[in-house]
Chains A and B, each alone.
Chain A
Amino acid sequence: MAIAVEKPEKADKVQPAAAAPAARKVSRRMASAAILVAWLVLFVVLRGRQTLTLAAADLTGLHHWLNDVNDTIGANRNSNPLFLYFFNEIRLAIDNLVTFVQSLISQPTGSRPVPQIGWLGVVGLTGYVSWAVGNWRVALLAVAGFTFFGLQGLWQESMDTLALTLSAVFVALLIGIPLGVWAGLSDRFNRIMTPFLDFMQTMPAFVYLAPLTLIFLIGGASAVITTVIYAAPPAIRITAHAIRSVPETTVEAADSLGTTRSQQLLKVLLPMSKRTVVMGVNQTIMAALAMVTIAALIDAPGLGKTVVQALQSLDVGTAFNAGLAIVVMAIVLDRVTTAAAGRAEAARRRSGRLLKWRRPLLVAGGVAVAVLVYLSHTFVWAAEFPGNGTTGSHIASVADTTTLWLQDHLSGLTNALRDAITNGLLNPFQTLLTDSPWWLVGAVLVALGAVLGGWRAGVTAAVCVGLLVGTGLWSDGMTTLASTAVATVLVMLLGAVFGVWMGRSLFVDRLVRPTLDAAQVMPPFVYLVPFLALFGATRFTAIVAAVVYAAPVAIKIIADGVRNVPESTVEAATSAGCNTWQIITKVQLPMARGALTLATNQGLIYVLSMVVVGGLVGAGALGYDVVAGFSQGELYGKGLAAGLAIVLLGVMFDRITQAAARRTRA
């Protein structure tokens, strides 16, 4: 536990980075190799010293202090003016919003035993809106998807989830779009915002659930705010990006016409970035749906509750059924918003005749929907979904049978795989990280950051390493880092294989993509039980769960990168007599280098966001600290510190990989 002051190794290892710019690429690789070799040598000499380990039940001063802060807030809740006049008002406003949306579609109000709009009205409304903002194909999908919820026997749960998601997305956009515009216009504000956004996206929700319920009470408001914290950043980031991407020349042209600043914003910047902003809305919806099971832990009604409750009795089938509803909802909302984003363009391409018909059709559709809504408000058969959800029990029993079969027939194979990767890759790497003195690992991280990403990245790494030591959880952080790194390597392997395959064939792309979507939005809680049966409560299970969640992103990005390699280049290589393997390794992958780095970056961040889930299945370390902090009052401070450590790891790797990406592109 002693903290050493010496830090001698750093200087001579940064040296090789300052090589001649002409041979920079080679020297960068060599410098990284030199750093790693030096690390290995020093590890052998210094193994087991100054490792800063902390036992599971031990706390540091910082952890105690954080506990005390939390207690003070709780104790002063009713007398503090900040609560009386600020937080309580926010809570009231959001609570009213949620209650209103719930009374419309999901919850009974007053003496009325059912919500104002029944299933028929909701289905009709969804189809109509999807058609109006998108096209008839997504409208059909939306109608089919929403009807499916009813057939699954999950109508009310789905509507509860939809009500919360819509409220959260509304609030997130209400805050996010103005902030995004501001961040798009002002570099300074953007720089201030970025760390906060990183924080909101990587801080595990388990850490702030308890304080949130203390501040905003148990109920709709807390559930919405939890979701907003995670879902607003994409809206802010993408809006800012959209504003920034408006061509300089357009803005200058408007300037020369003498427009004022507000005119410029409303008439030029916003309309021109509309398409990208809608993509931001799309990402916000996806992020909000990802929080469904987390919000269920503080009594948010809906599908998340069904998943969490089913898992208390390890009822995989029921959990899968509810998870499937979340997937369907995500796919419907994704396709509708994507269609909405592309609508303006599609409309321009379409013939004038259809456009002439559009307006009367919109009116007719509106009337039809109004009738449906009225029917569903008035008559029981249109208010409550008929039937008793037999499709749902079929899905559940099929899921049960399938998992049972997999568990019985694959466990030999999976155990061998687990042992091979754990012993061959994970254990040695983890030993290297946790048994080296902390300052050695810290120096290596800083040096690698500086070599790969430049001095700025090096400084960021140094700050993060310092703060990591400050959290008192260095050793746990290194254990988590080892698993994270192994998971990222696996993600990139999968990403390269499937990404290239999908990038080279549109057919494969169409076939695989829905599976990737499902893997991204299916709540991890659903597949944890079968994974536990296959791999046991181990770090490897956590790695597999993280790979399932993170690989789709990497695959999609790499597929995109490979597809963007100019046709002519590939043709030239083919005519030069290259075989397929050579084209992939010598042409397509090198030319998609930017996409590969981006995929690494996103893959790593997504893996890190699964650390807490990993803690639930045997990964221990930071993930377990967070989970335990959520469950036991005494460990709260430690859990918060572990959450901070995860954020720090995330920020460090994000900055290094981004800087490295900029350099490879340059």
Chain B
Amino acid sequence: MARHWRAGAAGLAVLGLTLTACGGAKVGDTSSAGSKGSGGKCGTFNLAVNPWVGYEADAAVVAYVAQHDLGCTVKKKDLKEEIAWQGFGTGEVDAVLENWGHDDLKKKYITGQKTAVEAGQTGNKGIIGWYVPPWLAKAHPDITDYKNLNKYASEFKTSESGGKGQLLDGDPSYVTNDAALVKNLKLDYKVVYAGSETALIQAFRTAEKNKQWVIGYFYEPQWFLSEVPLVKVNLPKYTTGCDADAAKVACDYPVYDLDKIVSAKFAKSGSPAYDLVKKFNWTNDEQNTVAKYIAVDKMSDEAAARKWVEANRDKVDAWLK
């Protein structure tokens, strides 16, 4: 705002601004932007937010309830799983709401360092597997049986798959047995690592739109399934222990009961937020609803949570009892 060619002009401008300012509201003298009801006995609640929309939905609702019903100061921290778990030990993270298996992390932090404890199930069922776009399942219904995959292998060829069919893998966040599966089920496919959830979703989206052949690793609950309802391919049924030897796996992925993990300190703190985390429980459909508000309807986390909480007050009250 510096008018360097005439000091007087600057002075006038300042005077003008000061005069107009006299009518404005002052910072802090009204409750215009105050944080209502913070404090209480809840204090600060550090909630890790892992980077996928389903988790964002969990966190949005829990944070909303903790803030408005319990008066907690909620600090959401956007972190990858591994780093979030590290945070249990350093006191930077109180709770993780949607944990997908991660036996290695459980071993390290729950039984090893004893900095984390389990806090029950989220209620969501995590399903991992191979999926095809709906148009393909409709045009070739037998493709959902893994035994027929070799018949179609040549259709799935791409510039990356070296003459074989391409199995698009890889959000690197989750363990995959796909390379072993392809080998042990004697499929004429090559695993190609897409490298991110973004890449996977975009691949399926393009495939459905342009009727292209794509088969790849995916999972539910996932907001994208409400946009394009991918169809799961049936692999040999999972039985307990069939995935014990990673190199010899020849069966489907287990259904994960997603669970909640909290820091050991938080569990002993007596914070009402801990009770809320412990009781928090909802279904895949419920999560998908909120995830859809966020991802498809582009609502803010807060607005999405408010909409859902207001419509499902009974359920929320049960968490608070």
Contacts and interface: CB of A to CB of B under 8 A. Distances in A.
A548 interface: no
Interface stretch (A291-299, A484-492, A588-596, A599-607): A291-299
Interface in B284-306: 294-296, 298
Interface string A589-633: 000000000000000000000000001111110011001101111
Given A218-B87, A539-B160, A136 B4 contact: yes
A372 interface: yes
Nearest to B202: A532
Contacts of A382: 21, 24
Contact of A422 (B104, B112, B159, B191): B159
A429 B200 CA distance: 27
Interface residues of B, number: 76
Interface in A307-333: 308-309, 311-315, 318
A83 B207 CA distance: 51
A318 B298 CA distance: 10
A618 B14 contact: no
A633 B210 contact: no
- Interface size of A as a range: 35 or more
A382 to B, nearest CB: 7
Contacts of A627: 172, 195-196
A305 B301 CA distance: 14
Interface stretch (B74-82, B132-140, B267-275): B74-82
Given A77-B89, A219-B92, A311 B195 contact: no
B11 interface: yes
A210 B81 CA distance: 10
B33 A139 contact: no
Interface stretch (B49-57, B121-129, B234-242, B309-317): B49-57
B97 interface: no
A163 to B, nearest CB: 17
A314 B296 CA distance: 10
B78 A299 contact: yes
Contacts of A427: 159
Given A218-B83, A312-B295, A419 B159 contact: yes
Given A217-B90, A368-B13, A620-B195, A378 B51 contact: no
Nearest to B294: A313
Interface string B1-32: 11111010011011001100100111110001
B17 A131 contact: no
A423 B168 CA distance: 19
B118 interface: no
A213 B24 contact: no
Chain A interface mostly: helix
A537 B168 contact: yes
B313 to A, nearest CB: 27
A371 B179 CA distance: 66
A314 B92 contact: no
Given A380-B32, A624-B195, A631-B80, A127 B27 contact: no
Contacts of B198: 311-312, 314, 528-529, 532, 616-617
A126 to B, nearest CB: 9
B172 A312 contact: no
A214 B86 contact: yes
Contacts, number: 239
A111 B27 CA distance: 11
A419 B160 CA distance: 10
A48 interface: no
A580 B198 CA distance: 47
Interface in B249-290: none
B194 interface: yes
A257 interface: no
Contacts of B1: 123-124, 127-128, 143, 368-369, 372
B199 A617 contact: yes
B148 interface: no
Contacts of A63: none
A635 to B, nearest CB: 8
A632 B173 contact: yes
Interface in A361-392: 361, 364-365, 367-369, 371-372, 375, 377-384
A618 B25 contact: no
A369 to B, nearest CB: 7
A272 interface: no
Contacts of A422: 159-160
A169 to B, nearest CB: 23
A380 B25 contact: yes
**Which 4 A-B residue pairs are closest in the complex by CB-CB distance?**
A313-B295, A364-B7, A628-B172, A537-B194
Given A71-B108, A411-B206, A624-B172, 10 more contacts: A57-B179, A77-B90, A139-B2, A309-B56, A364-B11, A368-B13, A375-B18, A378-B21, A532-B202, A624-B170
10 contacts: A56-B191, A75-B112, A210-B83, A218-B92, A219-B92, A308-B51, A369-B1, A380-B27, A615-B195, A632-B173
Interface of A: 55-57, 71, 74-75, 77, 111-114, 118, 123-124, 127-128, 131-132, 136, 139, 143, 209-210, 213-214, 217-219, 296-299, 305, 308-309, 311-315, 318, 357-358, 360-361, 364-365, 367-369, 371-372, 375, 377-384, 407, 411, 418-419, 422-423, 427, 528-529, 532-533, 536-540, 615-620, 623-624, 627-628, 630-634, 636
